């Protein structure tokens, strides 16, 4: 394994005028400024989320030692190191190889931000099923073994795609103007309310091969934490969005849609009548970082270890509404209607993050309009971003 030194992160676009968290003790008893230094390992540090986490930890705690591992296999990952004034160490290696993980120095915490995060992984001819499982499950096992050896805490970035596709597709929906809206009074499944999908919503198969690999990782992480007495926090993340994201249609849909619209690439409303009524919520990785900073300071065992983390109802938007936003900001564009159904598509997913609010006093600060504005500015400055990150028309 070779070791290189890099600097992570010029500050991203200024956050909007929404209320911000003070650097003081809050209702969780956690101080946004670390009262002590620590060593933090980030797997997938050169990815969109990993690089934001590294920058935020270094900004918040200059005395913290942050280092990470990344295989740099995804197109554009070199550019997404966010080079700047915050020095950290990056080990060029692969968490699928236990020997690469074994060579890492000890840490107090490990953040697993490395994954093949496409819901089509294993089926899209970009990766095989074995590659998917090796990345998302076996890689996590190697990190858990690392935590066992070093008594390090573990934070897993999981996904909303662990929730049952069949149950989500069975939600009673109606069309209200430009989007699907659940008829909540008729919804009888546990874990669904006007606040969104909660943690007790069904995780029964099918959840996609990607979702299954993350669900298995969650179970193993919890078992390792109990068996070897180290803290484990699992964050089931909704759609992350922001400038510099490696946007693809099946992953960073908000980023992809804006870049593709501005570049006049062909776009399609796939499935559900081809109208673009399907809805997802989005949140910014800096809001995720605010939560992780709190989790890094708490090694107790008295809190629920699994939380949904998302933008919620206020940060939800349909594809049709996203197209209308693009039309206002970038000009005219057309979207093809394609009613063909795909096996892993779902019409409505908005995450209920009330558990995170209760346990960690966490709510997302960045509102969706400001996130879209940030992505749009990035698209103007980087018109070839999709090609740089491996996408094609």
What does the pLDDT read at residue 301?
85
- Cβ contacts of 278 within 8 Å, gap of 6 or more: 180, 271, 272, 318, 319, 345, 346, 347, 348
What does the pLDDT read at residue 127?
80
Strand bridging mode 348-349 / 173-176: unpaired
CA torsion sign for 259, 265, 268, 269 is positive
- Portion of the chain with pLDDT greater than 90, in percent: 71
Q: What is the mean pLDDT of residues 286-309?
A: 95
Cite the DSSP H helix spans in the chain.
48-60, 98-102, 129-133, 139-150, 165-169, 208-228, 253-262, 285-295, 319-330, 354-360, 368-381, 385-388
Question: Tokens representing 29?
Answer: 């008893």
Residue bearing the bigger pLDDT, 360 or 247: 360
User: What's the CA gap between 9 and 282, in Å, rounded?
Assistant: 22
Nearest of 294, 215, 339 to residue 33 by alpha carbon = 294
Q: What is the mean pLDDT of residues 96-120?
A: 92
pLDDT tens-digit readout, 125-183: 778 889 889 999 999 999 999 999 999 999 999 999 999 999 999 999 999 999 999 99
Phi, psi at residue 51, to the nearest 5°?
Answer: -70, -35
Q: What is the mean pLDDT of residues 275-299?
A: 96
User: What's the CA gap between 237 and 247, in Å, rounded?
Assistant: 16
What does the pLDDT read at residue 316?
98
Is it true that domain 2-388 has CATH number 3.90.230.10? no
Q: What is the mean pLDDT of residues 49-67?
A: 91
Phi, psi at residue 107, to the nearest 5°?
Answer: -135, 160
What does the pLDDT read at residue 16?
46
CB 285 within 8 A of CB 242: yes
Nearest of 77, 160, 161, 91 to residue 122 by alpha carbon = 161
Q: What is the mean pLDDT of residues 289-309?
A: 95
CB 167 within 8 A of CB 347: no
What does the pLDDT read at residue 392?
65
What does the pLDDT read at residue 77?
60
What does the pLDDT read at residue 327?
98
pLDDT tens-digit readout, 244-277: 887 666 678 999 999 999 999 999 999 999 999 9
Q: What is the mean pLDDT of residues 359-370?
A: 97
Question: Tokens representing 341?
Answer: 């159904």
- Portion of the chain with pLDDT greater than 70, in percent: 84
Q: Does the N-terminal peptide bond of residue 206 adopt cis geometry, omega within 30 degrees of 0? A: yes
């Amino acid at each position: 394994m070779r070791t290189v030194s890099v600097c992570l992160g010029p500050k991203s676009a200024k956050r909007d005028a929404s209320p911000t968290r003070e650097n003081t003790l809050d209702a969780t008893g956690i101080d946004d400024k670390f009262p002590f230094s620590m060593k933090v390992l980030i797997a997938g540090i050169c990815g969109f989320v990993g690089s934001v986490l590294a920058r935020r930890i270094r900004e918040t705690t200059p005395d913290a030692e942050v280092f990470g591992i990344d295989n740099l296999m995804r197109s554009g990952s070199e550019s997404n190191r966010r080079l700047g004034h915050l020095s950290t160490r990056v080990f060029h290696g692969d968490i699928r190889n236990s020997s690469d993980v074994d060579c890492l120095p000890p840490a107090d915490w490990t953040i697993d931000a490395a994954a093949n995060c496409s819901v089509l992984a294993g089926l899209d001819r970009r990766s095989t099923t074995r590659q998917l499982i090796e990345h998302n499950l076996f890689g996590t096992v190697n990190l858990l073994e690392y935590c066992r050896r070093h008594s390090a805490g573990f934070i897993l970035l999981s996904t909303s795609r662990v929730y049952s596709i069949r149950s989500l597709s069975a939600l009673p929906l109606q069309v209200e103007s430009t989007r699907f809206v659940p008829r909540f009074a008729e919804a009888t499944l546990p874990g669904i309310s006007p606040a969104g999908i909660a943690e007790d919503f069904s995780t029964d198969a099918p959840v996609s091969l990607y979702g299954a690999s993350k669900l298995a990782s969650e179970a193993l992480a919890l078992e390792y934490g109990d068996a070897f007495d180290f803290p484990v926090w699992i964050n089931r993340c909704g759609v992350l969005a922001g400038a510099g994201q490696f946007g693809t249609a099946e992953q960073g849909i908000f980023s992809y849609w804006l870049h593709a619209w501005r570049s006049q690439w062909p776009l399609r409303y796939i499935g559900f009548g081809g109208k673009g009524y399907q809805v997802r919520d989005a949140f910014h990785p800096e809001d995720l970082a605010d939560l992780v900073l709190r989790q890094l300071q708490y090694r107790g065992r008295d809190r629920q270890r699994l939380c949904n983390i998302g933008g919620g109802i206020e940060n939800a938007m349909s594809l049709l509404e996203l197209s209308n936003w693009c039309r206002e900001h970038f000009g005219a564009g057309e979207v093809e209607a394609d009613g063909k159904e795909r096996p892993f598509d779902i019409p409505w997913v908005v995450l209920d993050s009330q558990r995170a609010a209760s346990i960690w006093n966490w709510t997302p600060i960045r509102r969706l309009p400001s996130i879209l504005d940030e992505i749009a500015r990035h698209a103007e400055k980087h018109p070839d971003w999709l090609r740089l990150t491996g996408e094609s028309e």
